[in-house]
Structure 1
Amino acid sequence: MPKMSKLFDQNNMFFAIMGVLFDLIILNVLTLLCCIPIVTAGAAFTAMHSVLWRMVRHEETYVARQFFESFKRNFRQSLLPWLGLLLAAVVLAVDGMLAWSMASMRGPLVACVAFAGLVVIAIAQYFFPLLSRYEDPTPVHLRNAAKLALGFFPRTLCMLVILVGFAVLYMQFFVYMIPLLLLMGVTLPQYCCAWIYNWIFRRIDGEIDTGGRTIPQS
């Protein structure tokens, strides 16, 4: 009997993992739906990070309610930065195609475009979590995102490796990956990244020291 009670205990590791996966699926569907009107994607990403942050901090999470609360609250502030990032992505895509067509200088030009793309992704990877959690003007968020991307470069690099790795996997096996893309294609890699940037923000907020030890709050 004790073993059976442990099996169906809500704190059981199996149930904990299944709970996280279920939340990621709901969050992924909400994020994709709210990205369909392209102009709302910035607010959707901000709302997604708001929920992911709560998940990795083991805070009480109500995915749909907290997602739409953040979406509504940050829609206006996220709009212009998102359109700017979207424009940068379009420009880089065009530059990438032009660079690829220039056979003589293809290697260096493609490398430059790829580097610029990674810089944009790195800044965006910090900007949306900052916007979801802190109340500051947009220029301050963008400046802080750039500082964090450079100041915590090893962790930034880890997040870029995760994102690029998932992107390559999706492109390489796209047909087979469609179910995963629809269920957790966005939230799974971002959930992995949330564990990385959560440490950074806990350091900034004075919750932990450089060794990762919790600092007692007075």
Structure 2
Amino acid sequence: MPRLFNQSNLFFKVMGVVFDLAVLNILTLVCSIPIVTAGASFTAMHYVLWHMVRGEETYIARQFFEAFTRNFRQATLFWLGCLPFIALVWLNVLVIQELPAENRWLLFATLAVAALVATAITEMYFVLLSRYENRTWTQLKNAALLSLGYFPRTIAMMLVLATFAAIYILFSTYLIPLLIFLGLTLPQYCCAWLYNPILVHLDERN
């Protein structure tokens, strides 16, 4: 019986991670509500996540807001640059849907590849911004190079995000509580296990 309530018990460890992810998810969503602040919110989320996967002592709210404040300007400017691209992708989806069925698949495939490449680079940009101080162009260049240089990990991360996105879309009615508490941080926590070795390797080189 004492072993059941031991804090080192696997159940308590898992529940501790789930609770931390839920708190982090709510913070990320709330700080993304104005839309324009979403970039800083994503950066702060990644800052907390890679601390978590490293098993380091984590103070979710304090570390989140420290990273949010520190990277606000650079993350927000980059995110504002991403918004027109997101709008363009969405507009293209609407246009392609109006085309004859035989012409859709190739255009959808091309658009999907472009969107995945952009997503991979954007994901890595926010990860790098949460860890290193560099100019925006340098961060973006490094994000592109690392996405290509660690291609298997990049593909794995995109598969994780695409899988979760598909599940959310297909079962959105039933998953509203999950979306509120773990919708962003659960898939990104999985991604953090994939990109953390990249950061460790970069830290060792520097």
Give unmatched runs, 5+ long, in structure 1.
208-218
Residue in structure 2 matched with residue 121 of structure 1 by the alignment: 119
Residue in structure 1 matched with residue 178 of structure 2 by the alignment: 180
State how 1:61-210 maps to structure 2 within 5 Å. Answer: 61-103=58-100, 104-206=102-204
Residue in structure 2 matched with residue 32 of structure 1 by the alignment: 29
Structure of higher CA gyration radius: 1
Contact residue 123 and residue 145 of structure 1 kept, 8 A: yes
Residue in structure 2 matched with residue 18 of structure 1 by the alignment: 15
- Which structure carries more relative contact order (alpha carbon 8 Å, separation 6+)? 2
SS at match of 1:10: coil
SS at match of 1:38: coil
Which stretch of structure 1 is more off in the superposition, 106-115 or 17-26? Answer: 106-115
Give the distance between the partners of 2:95 and 2:111, measured in 1 at CA: 10
Superposed displacement of residue 96, structure 1: 1.8
Superposed displacement of residue 65, structure 1: 0.6
Aligned CA-pair RMSD: 1.1
- Aligned residue pair count: 204
Q: Which amino acid aligns with 2:149?
A: G
Superposed displacement of residue 169, structure 1: 0.3
Contact residue 122 and residue 149 of structure 1 kept, 8 A: yes
Runs of 4+ residues deviating >6 angstroms? none
Give the distance between the partners of 1:85 and 1:119, measured in 2 at CA: 13
Give the distance between the partners of 1:65 and 1:35, measured in 2 at CA: 17
Q: Which amino acid aligns with 1:108?
A: L
CA deviation vs aligned residue, 1:152-203 (integer Å, no higher than 9, x gap): 1111010001100000000001100101000100000000000000011112
CA deviation vs aligned residue, 1:26-46 (integer Å, no higher than 9, x gap): 000000001100110000000
TM-score relative to the length of structure 1: 0.91
Contact residue 24 and residue 184 of structure 1 kept, 8 A: yes
